[in-house]
Amino acid sequence: MSVPLFVLAAIADNGVIGDDNRLIWQLSSDLKRFRQLTLGHPMLMGRKTFQSIGKALPGRETVVLTRDPAFAAEGVHVAHDLAGALDLCRDLAKRMQAPGIAVVGGADVYAQTLPLADRLHLTEVHATPHGDAFFPDWDRKSFKVISKEDFPSGPRDEYAYSFIDYQRVRT
């Protein structure tokens, strides 16, 4: 049995997801959603994304996909190719009895996993910031919207945003 793969990303209206290896907005609601969706799951991320977070997050197992053969970090699992990373995530998901695997960035990891994803949990950030990391193009016809909620900016959310969940359309 296959373990579902879901992509979780916050994307500005111009496709930007980061700048200089850091988040570029303050969205408390998005961080809460990230925690809710990833808690109890294995998370797959690239080395730069891991380094921007700075540590393994509690209540999750972190798999870092990197080309750097010398990379090691406390509390994380390391893989050097996508197939190995996914195998490791599947094993962790079974051990954790997790219902899926969370892919949380960055751009290269998203590009590699979008064709395999069963679901997308996207936060559309209604802003057009400068950035150097972009969410890759994806085949929107392969997914259907299963839920969408719009929110205004507020004291803890710098910009207006939308939570949009997609499910892959199986043909």
18-29 residue pLDDT tens: 999 988 999 999
CB distance 52 to 167 below 8 Å:
no
Mean pLDDT of the chain: 96
pLDDT surpasses 60 at 1: no
Give the model confidence (pLDDT) of 84-125 as tens digits: 999 999 999 999 999 999 999 999 999 999 999 999 999 999
**Domains within the chain, CATH numbers bracketed:** 5-168 (3.40.430.10)
Backbone torsion region of residue 97, taken as left when φ is above 0, otherwise alpha when ψ lies between -120 and 50, otherwise beta: left
